[in-house]
Structure 1
Amino acid sequence: MARKPHRILRAACVAACALGLGACDNASRQATTSDDAAAPAETTDMQFLADNAAWREQRLEGLLKPDGWTSLIGLHWIDLKTHYVGSGATNGLRLAMGPEKVGLLQRDGGRVFLTPERGVALTLDGAPLQGRTELKTDDGQAPSLVGFDDGKGQMTVIERGDRLALRVKHSEAPTRTQFAGLEYWPADPSWRIDARYEPHPPGKTLQIANIIGILEDTPNPGVVVFERDGKTHRLEALDGGEDSLFLILADRTSGHDSYGAGRYVYTDLPTADNKVVIDFNRAYNPPCAFTPFATCPLPPLENRLDLAVTAGEKTYAKAH
C-alpha cells in the first residue's frame, strides 16, 4: 500500500530532527493533518523540507572538512622581506601547530618564495617540496598549497588589497575538533521570496569593506528588490560567479539572534524576465563567525535591511 503524504512528511520531519535542522516544529504540525488534507500542498512542503535539510547537511559537511573554514589556525601578514616560519618561539611567523621550523619565507615585491627547512617534509600541491620555490597567491587563481604535518596542515598565500598574508589550516584545529554545531530558525517556505532583478550598467562596482578593514571594488551587476510584510526592500547583488548572485546582508536580527557582522545568501542568476528567488532559509554565517583568521566581506550600507529576517542560520554558540 502506498504511504499517505502526511506520513511521508512525518518521516521527513523525523529525519530533519535527527540532524538538528530546526524544521521539526512546523513539520510536526503539518504531519498531524488528516488524510483528507490536500496532497499537492503536503508534497510541496515535504520537498521544501527535504531540500532544506539536504542543504544544511552539505553546509555542515563543508565547514567540517579537514581543510574547511573551521580548520583555520592562523593569518600571518608578510610585511618583511624575510620571515622564518614554524611553531617555535624564534620564528617571525609563529604557527599555532606544526613543526618547530617549517622554512624561510621571502618576499620580493608581490612575489613570495619558500625555502623548506632541512629535514622537514613539506609538499607543494601534493608533490614533495625540495628547494626554494615561488608560491602563487590567490589573486585570480588557485594559490600554491604547502602541506606539512603529514598533510594535516596546509599553508597558502593570500592577497588582500596591497597586502600579502600566510593563511594556515590544520585538520586538528580546536575550532574544528570542538565544533559545537549549527542552529537555525525553523524552515519556513514564506521566506523563499520571489524578487525582481534590476540590472546596473555594465562594469558597475560597489566598494565592499572586509572585517580586517580593507576596501575592495567589487563587481555589482544589479539590485534585487522584494516585498515583505507590505514593505519594499532592496539588496545590492555582487557577482557570485558564472551561475549565481551573491548577497551580503544585515538585518534586525544581526547582533542578536544572528551573527553581528551579517550573513550571506546566494541566488541563481535572474531569468530572462528578470525574476530571482531569494531563499532566506539559506542565509548563512560568514567564516568569521567561527574563526578570527578569516577576512570576510561585510554588508554594504545599502544592504542593511529594516526587517527582521527570522530565517536561516543563527549566531554560532561555541562549545564551553
Structure 2
Amino acid sequence: MAVDTTGTLPVVDGSVAEVFIRDWHEWHRRHTAVLADPHGFLAVTGLHWLTSEPQRLPGAPGEWSTGAEGVEVTLDADEELVVDGAVVRGRYVFGVIPERGGINAAWGDAVIEVAKRGGHDIVRPRHPDHPLRAEYAGTPTFPPHPRWAVAGRYVPFDHPRPTTVGAAVEGLQHVYHAPGRIEFEIDGQALSLTAFEGRTPGSLSVLFTDVTSGVTTYAANRALALDAPDPDGRVVLDFNRATNLPCAYTDFATCPLPPAENRLPVAIEAGEKIPYERG
C-alpha cells in the first residue's frame, strides 16, 4: 500500500476500497434508519419546558408540571398513557429525571418523551405522521473516501475535566466530563479535539466544527463517534462518518455545541452535509 502524505491512514485501492465504501454505505443506511424511526427526532412536534404550574401541551394528553417530586401529569378521565408497559390514568408521577435521562410514555401511535436537559424538565411529543419525518428524503453527504480515515492518538487527562458547552437552545448549557484529547494531523497540520465519553464503555465522542461549517455542513456542530483506543492509545477518526445532530433538522432539539478548542481550522470535506430541510 502507498502511504498518503496527508497523515491519513494508508491509501487503499481496488477491492479494499470497494469494501471501505460498501461498509460506509451500510453504516449510513443504518444511521438514516434510526433518524427516520417512527418515534425518532424527526417525529418531534414540540419542545415544552415544564414549570410548577400545570399546563396542557400541544400533542400530549393531560396537564404537566414539575416540582419536588419531579415530573407529573394529571390525565382526564378519557385519557391514558402506557409507561414501562403499564397503563396509567389520573395523576402519575414520573419522578426526578436525571440529567440527559428520559422516559418515553406511549400515547396511541405517539410517544411522549419526558426528559431533563440543562437542568430543566422538558416534554417532547413524538408523532410518526409529523411532516418533517413523513417527508424525510435522506441526508446529503460527501462521497466517502479513505483519505478521511485519519490516524490519531488518544491522550488521557490526569482526571476527567468537567467541560461546559453551549446548546442549540439559547441560554442553555450542558456539562460533560472530558476524559482526554485526540491528537492527529491533516495535510501536515497538527490538530487536536477534546473528547467526551461515548455510548459504550471505553468509546469516545467528539463534537466539532471546521471551515466547511455554515457553508456545506451544518453551522453549529457535527459529531463523530470513535471506537475505544487500543492499548497504545491509537484511534481512527473516520470523518466519513461525521454526522449531524438532531438540531440540524429540528428546532425542538437541545443539542450541545462543541467546546471552543474543537473548532478546526481546516476543511473536513467528509461526512454529512447540511440537511435538505435546512437548505
Is the pair's TM-score, using the shorter chain for normalization, greater than 0.5? yes
Larger helix proportion, structure 1 or 2? 1
| Gapped regions of structure 2 (runs ≥ 5) | 1-11
Partner in structure 2 of residue 268 of structure 1 = 227
Alpha-carbon distance between aligned partners in 2 of 1:305 and 1:199, rounded to the nearest angstrom: 20
Residue by residue over 1:235-289, the C-alpha shift from the partner in whole angstroms, topping out at 9 and shown as x without a partner, is 1001113141010000000001000112000111111101110000000111011
Matched, 1:301 2:260: yes
Partner in structure 1 of residue 140 of structure 2 = 183
| Gapped regions of structure 1 (runs ≥ 5) | 1-39, 86-92
Matched, 1:279 2:238: yes
Matched, 1:48 2:7: no
The TM-score, its normalising length taken from structure 1, stands at 0.78
Matched, 1:223 2:181: yes
Q: CA RMSD in A?
A: 1.9
Alpha-carbon distance between aligned partners in 2 of 1:80 and 1:251, rounded to the nearest angstrom: 41
Partner in structure 1 of residue 276 of structure 2 = 317
Residue by residue over 1:219-240, the C-alpha shift from the partner in whole angstroms, topping out at 9 and shown as x without a partner, is 1011111111111111100111
Larger strand proportion, structure 1 or 2? 2
**AA of the residue aligned to 1:166:** V
**AA of the residue aligned to 1:230:** G
The Cα shift of 1:136 comes to 4.2
Whether the aligned pair in 2 keeps the contact of 1:136 and 1:142 (CA below 8 Å) is no
The Cα shift of 1:107 comes to 2.3
Q: 1:108 to 1:283 in 2, by over 3 A?
A: same
- 1:1-320 residue pairs with structure 2 within 5 A? 41-83=13-55, 85=56, 93=57, 95=58, 97=59, 102-109=61-68, 111-136=70-95, 138-139=97-98, 143-148=102-107, 150=108, 152-212=109-169, 213-241=171-199, 242-318=201-277
Secondary structure in 1 matching 2:51: coil
Q: 1:142 to 1:210 in 2, by over 3 A?
A: closer
Aligned residue pairs total 266
The Cα shift of 1:181 comes to 1.6
Whether the aligned pair in 1 keeps the contact of 2:71 and 2:97 (CA below 8 Å) is no
Alpha-carbon distance between aligned partners in 1 of 2:129 and 2:225, rounded to the nearest angstrom: 30
Alpha-carbon distance between aligned partners in 2 of 1:195 and 1:133, rounded to the nearest angstrom: 49
Residue by residue over 1:119-164, the C-alpha shift from the partner in whole angstroms, topping out at 9 and shown as x without a partner, is 124322332112311114551686332222x2x2111222123321
Q: Percent identity?
A: 32
Give every structure 1 segment of 4 or more consecutive aligned residues whose post-TM-superposition deviation is greater than 6 Å. Answer: none
Q: Larger C-alpha radius of gyration, 1 or 2?
A: 1
